[in-house]
Amino acid sequence: MKTKKKQVPGKNTTITWLGHSAFLLVSPKGKSLVIDPWLKNPKAPPSALEIQNADIILITHGHGDHIGNGVGLATRTGATVISNYEVSLYFQGQGVTKVQGINKSGSVEIDGITVTMVDATHSSGIEVGEHMLAGGDPAGFIIQMENGFTVYHAGDTGVFGDMKLIAELYHPHVALLPIGGYYTMGPREAAKAAELITPKFIIGMHYGTFPILKGTPAELKKHLPKRLKNRLLVLEPGTPVIL
């Protein structure tokens, strides 16, 4: 009798940082997810604008550096956009038809991948010309791959105590945390967030895009407790890592 091969969490899950808060994730079964697709950000590799395949696009909140090139990417690839309800209405207004507007603690399952929206502390207005539209509440996402490997994209946020609940409920293997400061957590706060979440891998984002985003991975490592320092991964834009 054949025994079922045990799935290895994270095996063949690929994460590529595209600069700022934008990431391309490829699941163990080859599904592509793009998060906060500002693909023209100053740190983005040229290949970011050439993405031809996306199954899911996740938008954490309404700011332009997170909606980014999402409308064009969704139109070109036919991906399903997942966001809060208010941002989903914006995408529908731009002609995107495959949109799911959920809310915090809500989940969507697409082709074996489960996406759950969680809290973030930030703002979420949508700039349209000279006007600011209501963008609902900002959020983070828990992304559980087909084999159970779980990625937490914190969105733009400060540290908050309920990150401990995110850890208890979802047990993320990877935490993508903003570290630039000014608009989000800086390294000191992100280190505390990592303590609350205790993932196997810690990846900084939302830093170095502009001079005002001064936090660095080196500073984050300095503030991390000794037991977490070796869990920090420093990604180069456009260079994939397999976890």
What pLDDT digit, counting tens, does each position of 144-183 carry?
A: 999 999 999 999 999 999 999 999 999 999 999 999 999 9
The pLDDT, as a whole number, for residue 217 is: 98
Does the structure show a pLDDT above 60 at 10? Answer: no
Work out the number of other CB atoms within 10 angstroms of the CB of residue 164.
14
206 falls within a domain:
yes
Answer yes or no: is pLDDT of 76 > 70. Answer: yes
Q: In percent, how much of the chain has pLDDT > 70?
A: 95
CA-based angle 168:56:201, to the nearest 5? Answer: 40
pLDDT above 50 for 17: yes
Q: Distances from the Cα of 192 to the Cαs of 195, 197, 212, in angstroms?
A: 5, 9, 21
Query: With bands split at pLDDT 50, 70 and 90, how would you rate the model's confidence at 1?
Result: very low
4 inside domain: no
Strands 32-35 and 56-58, bridge-based pairing: parallel
Q: What CATH code is carried by the domain that includes residue 91?
A: 3.60.15.10
Q: Is residue 161 part of a domain?
A: yes
| Whole-angstrom distance, CA of residue 216 vs CA of residue 43 | 14
Q: What is the pLDDT of residues 110-120, one digit of tens each?
A: 999 999 999 99
Type of residue found at 202: I
Q: What is the DSSP letter of 60?
A: -
Residue 242 has pLDDT above 60, yes or no: yes
pLDDT of residue 162: 98
Does any domain span residue 6?
A: no
Summarize pLDDT for 18-54 with one digit per residue, the tens: 999 999 999 999 999 999 999 999 999 999 999 999 9
Residue 2 lies in a domain: no
The string of pLDDT tens digits covering residues 179-230 is 999 999 999 999 999 999 999 999 999 999 999 999 999 999 999 999 999 9
| 218 part of a folded domain | yes
Structural domain tally of the chain? 1
Give bridge partners of residue 133 from the DSSP assignment. 126
User: Is 8 among the domain residues?
Assistant: no
pLDDT band at 139 (very low <50, low <70, confident <90, very high): very high
Q: Which domain covers residue 104, as residue numbers?
A: 14-242
